[in-house]
Amino acid sequence: MQSLIWLIITLIDLYVYVLIAMVVMSWLFAFNVINYNNQFVRQLSQVITQLTEPVLAPIRRILPNMGGIDLSPMVLLLGLFFVKNLILEYSPRLM
């Protein structure tokens, strides 16, 4: 049971890093620091989008339009931190 909890916590941590990378890349694209002409950047952006978009799309449908500001990554991060802390809090009681 302990290794399953460790795996879930590790997957949540990895997904948080992917989500942060998606936010940083979107800022770099918005400020024209990087662009899609570079093949590596394009492939990395596609992989990150494929990993994050299935989870972010339903959150975007629920949140109101904020005039070009996407708050769905912040909502997802808060949710992931909540789930992680919930697991860590109740995991000693599961043993």
The pLDDT value given to residue 23? 96
Is the per-residue pLDDT at 6 higher than 70? yes
* pLDDT (tens digit per residue) in 9-41: 999 999 999 999 999 999 999 999 999 999 999
Query: Is residue 63 scored above 80 in pLDDT?
Result: yes
pLDDT at 92: 75
- Cα gap 81→95, rounded to integer Å: 22
What confidence category does residue 94 fall into, taking pLDDT thresholds of 50, 70 and 90?
A: low
Cα 91 from Cα 27, distance rounded (Å): 37
Stated pTM of the model:
0.89
CB atoms within 10 A of CB 85: 10
